[in-house]
Amino acid sequence: MSGELKNSRKNIPIGTLSAIGLSTIVYIILCWWVARAASPQELINNYTILIEKSRWQPLVLMGLLAATFSASLSSLVSAPRILMALAKDGVIPWGNSLAKLSKNGEPRRALLVSATLVLLALLLRD
């Protein structure tokens, strides 16, 4: 998807460093809050301490679901594009058909291959 940016050489480092900086700030604040909200023994023994100590528990659950759905959506969007780019560059020897886009510019064949691989991986789990 970086190929769709107007100035990827400038935007990718700025976006990456901004995301790392914001995540660092959020994690530091979270560590500070948890250290004040619970004892070390509670932190060791209770895996749901964040939910239990929060003011509004549904907000924490919504945040967890939003993070899960965001990760799923980004994988759904980026994996087929990466597979298509690998096929287009000849990294995948049998990938000529995966390098083709649909009429609306989506890598549908790569999406089907990605979805099949994910489904097989899920079926192999214990």
pTM for the model = 0.53
Domain ranges (residues) in the chain: 1-53, 55-126
Cα distance between residue 82 and residue 88, in whole Å = 10
Residue 52, H or E segment = helix 49-53
What would the pLDDT profile of 38-76 be if each residue is shown by its tens digit? Answer: 888 988 898 888 888 888 889 988 988 998 898 888 888
Structure tokens at 47: 């895996």
Average pLDDT for residues 3-18, to the nearest whole number? 79
Scanning the structure block, which residue is given the tokens 């780019």? 85
Cα distance between residue 74 and residue 52, in whole Å = 29
Cα distance between residue 12 and residue 2, in whole Å = 7
Residue 11, H or E segment = helix 8-37
Nearest to 114 by CA among 70, 81, 74: 81
